[in-house]
Chain A
Amino acid sequence: MSKDKFTTLKTTAVPLPNENIDTDQIIPARFLKATTREGFGDNLFRDWRYDADNNPIAGFVLNDKKYSGKILVAGKNFGCGSSREHAAWAIYDFGFRVVVSSFFADIFKNNALNNGLLPIVVSDGFLKQMLEAIELNPKTEIVVDLVNQIMQVGAVKESFEINAYKKTCLMNGYDDIDYLLSLNKEIKEFDVAHA
């Protein structure tokens, strides 16, 4: 699916410093029964966000009015576990456009990039600084500049890596199928040769 184009983003962020946040926490399996991509944001972090009677759990960041913005800042190994793309859909559907962590699980990272959600890997030190800054002042302004691959938190900057192909896709709203479809002839030949 072609997504919104991403170049720069100026926003605030929501801190979720837990490590090893798996995709079962992001979107529990019992909410994977839909056959469309929309609406998963309602159940984002369902079991951390709501109790068994569907009442919001006080203290969880998504229920805390002081935090808002389009960036989710999480502890290391974010998105481990199941390959469910619903995790990326839920985060995007909720309104986030960027997830920051010091380390992402591979499949989640691919899924995010395929849905216009930018995963930014930062150093452990920068992550710690960033979490502290947001907790101290939830209105801390954060600028994500994808073109120059720089993230600025208050007065502090850090550059981030993203491979050139995925960057082009995000900036232009392209997806992988556009490119693969252009290889149709070569793929057909390969398929026949390897039947």
Chain B
Amino acid sequence: MSQQKPRTIFEKIWDAHVVKRAEGYPDALFIDRHFIHEVTSPQAFDGLRKRNIPVFNTNRTTATADHNVPTKDQHLPIKEALSRHQVETLRKNCQEFGVELYDLGHPYQGIVHIIGPELGLTQPGMTIVCGDSHTSTHGAFGNIAFGIGTSEVEQVLATQCILQYRPKTMKIEINGALAKGVVSKDIILYIISKISASGATGFFVEYAGDTIRNLSMEARMTICNMSIEMGARGGLIAPDETTFNYMRGRKFAPQGEAFEQKVADWKKLTTDEGATYDVVLQYDAADIAPMITYGTNPGMGMKVTDRIPTVEELKEISEHASFKKSLEYMGLEQGASLLGKAVDYVFIGSCTNARIEDLRLVADMVKGKKKAENVEVWVIPGSKQVEAQAISEGLDKVFEAAGFELRSPGCSACLGMNEDKVPAGKYCISTSNRNFEGRQGPKSRTFLASPLSAAAAAITGRVTDVREFN
């Protein structure tokens, strides 16, 4: 055998999934695992019907209803007619084409990027796609996972493949110990604030360094989840003992001896000595503080103790108009501090931060305390399993005593597709991933932050530095 060129983990997984590489064509990439939901799949199933073809391999696709579902009274028919029709269409399509569906009420239902990992469907070395940009979440297990459009959902349903050009590679390395009050959400908001909302467009990211190694799986998922917010196709973390320990015994993970055999294979999923990346960025964990966004894209973030920049401080003149428009939308002044700014809503949820660990962080922080009178607090668990776990640990009681509303699983106010909307002009501190104009409801204003920062704001009613919170 000829000496192979050293490869990154990304290149190894990609190469192992190329069914056909032909001159003049993108790679035909085999997809191991496909997740679908009600919003981006109906037109894809219609396409199959028009072509009169079945789903290529139903064992490789899993469906759930999450984006457009109510978070109250999930046992009742969905009130809103269009939403009800969309969920019913998913039901009908899954039945007709033989796709497993974790429907409302099913113990495995939940946000698609939360249920994949918790069911053990998400595994190292895989290629994973879903018609949702936050599919990058799954990369925390050491796989190539990325969001696709509906035409591509149809491709995958029809052929289990997708036509793709290989993106460039970027390594983001973070070393050092995290300071008190700093969690993984702060790490990713910090990185995006450094490289901007388009800083990784065209790249697939590998996160490395001892800071990343020391994170739990749940914390790693939060980081990979937001890779898309800097434009990256996806982001991954090489699997290690933390990964294997998280996976062991999960419903669809290999069991017993078969699992240990898989672990031996997965351990080979590392970047070779001497492999190169198109771009390498390095950060020091000690420089990361609790973060908050002030603008209308996730790159517009700062340390919670910083001031909002002024136009004069911006690097690019071309950004001035967008920056001013953004602050005007947010009702904020250049150069102002956000500390002490009153908030109206607190949203704890989404595929970024609605796993059990996130709920525990929040519960630990607010135990025995009460929310401020000026805020409404929604806690939306990421899945039925997270919800059940939270209840079994008594977190529901903590939330209830604090005046927080614990609702049923779904994407909820992250994108405001269901009834959970932040009213016009109101401020919401949110553990979700996007602060775009109108994202949480028309004219809503979003501050992205960690679950800790959101919990602190729920109690004080204001933007708070968690390091000062008792």
- Residues on A lying within 8 angstroms of B by beta carbon are 1, 17-20, 22, 24-25, 28-30, 32-37, 47, 52, 75-77, 80-86, 88, 103, 105-107, 110-111, 114-115, 124, 163-165, 175-177, 179-181, 183-184, 186-187, 190-191, 194
Contact = CB atoms under 8 A, between A and B. Distances in A.
A180 B158 contact: yes
A43 to B, nearest CB: 12
Contacts of B439: 24, 29
16 contacts: A18-B322, A20-B297, A29-B417, A32-B67, A33-B417, A37-B43, A83-B40, A88-B149, A105-B201, A111-B150, A165-B26, A180-B159, A186-B20, A187-B19, A187-B159, A194-B30
B202 interface: yes
Given A34-B82, A83-B149, A20 B322 contact: yes
Contacts of A19: 318-319, 321-322
Contact of B297 (A80, A84, A164): A80
Which 3 A-B pairs have CB atoms at the shortest separation, nearest pair first? A85-B149, A35-B42, A111-B149
Nearest to B295: A20
A194 B125 CA distance: 12
Contacts of B417: 29-30, 32-33
B331 interface: no
Contacts of A28: 438, 442
Sort chain B's interface into a size bin.
35 or more
A124 B318 contact: yes
A126 B372 CA distance: 52
Contacts of A186: 19-20, 28
A81 B436 contact: yes
- Which residue, of A22, A29, A191, has the highest number of chain B Cβ atoms within 10 A? A29
B30 A83 contact: no
B167 interface: yes
Contact of B46 (A17, A36, A111): A36
B5 interface: no
Contact of A191 (B26, B57, B228, B437): B57
A19 B24 CA distance: 33
Contacts, number: 184
Nearest to B433: A81
Nearest to A127: B318
Contacts of B66: none
Contacts of A75: 318, 322
Nearest to A34: B82
Contacts of B443: 47, 52
Contact of B85 (A25, A35, A165): A35
Contacts of A77: 197-198, 201, 231
A110 B161 contact: no
Given A18-B325, A177-B158, 15 more contacts: A1-B47, A17-B321, A29-B415, A85-B149, A85-B150, A103-B198, A106-B202, A107-B148, A165-B26, A175-B151, A177-B155, A183-B20, A187-B56, A191-B57, A194-B30
- Which residue, of A82, A111, A115, A181, has the highest number of chain B Cβ atoms within 10 A? A82
B89 interface: yes
A179 B155 CA distance: 10
Contacts of B57: 191
Interface of B: 19-20, 24-26, 28, 30, 32, 39-40, 42-43, 46-47, 51, 53, 56-57, 67-68, 82-83, 85-86, 89, 131-133, 147-152, 154-155, 158-163, 165, 167, 197-198, 201-202, 228, 231, 233, 297, 299, 318-319, 321-322, 325, 415-417, 424, 434, 436-439, 442-443
Contact of A107 (B147, B165, B322): B147
A148 B148 CA distance: 29
Contacts of A115: 151
Contacts of A83: 40, 131-133, 147-149
Given A84-B40, A187-B19, A103 B151 contact: no
Contacts of B297: 20, 22, 80
A35 B438 CA distance: 22
A57 to B, nearest CB: 12
Contact of B86 (A18, A33, A37, A187): A33
Nearest to B132: A83
Contacts of B26: 163, 165
Contact of B442 (A47, A81, A84, A85): A47
Contacts of B154: 177
A52 B442 contact: yes
Contacts of A176: 151-152, 155, 162-163
A35 B43 contact: yes
A190 B158 CA distance: 15
Contacts of A105: 198, 201, 231
A184 B19 CA distance: 10
B201 A103 contact: yes
B231 A106 contact: yes
A17 B321 CA distance: 9
B451 to A, nearest CB: 22
Contacts of A111: 149-151
Contacts of B149: 83-85, 88, 107, 110-111, 114
A1 B151 contact: yes
Contacts of B201: 77, 80, 103, 105-106
Contact of B19 (A24, A107, A190): A190
A32 B28 CA distance: 29
B159 A183 contact: yes
Contacts of A18: 321-322, 325
A107 to B, nearest CB: 6
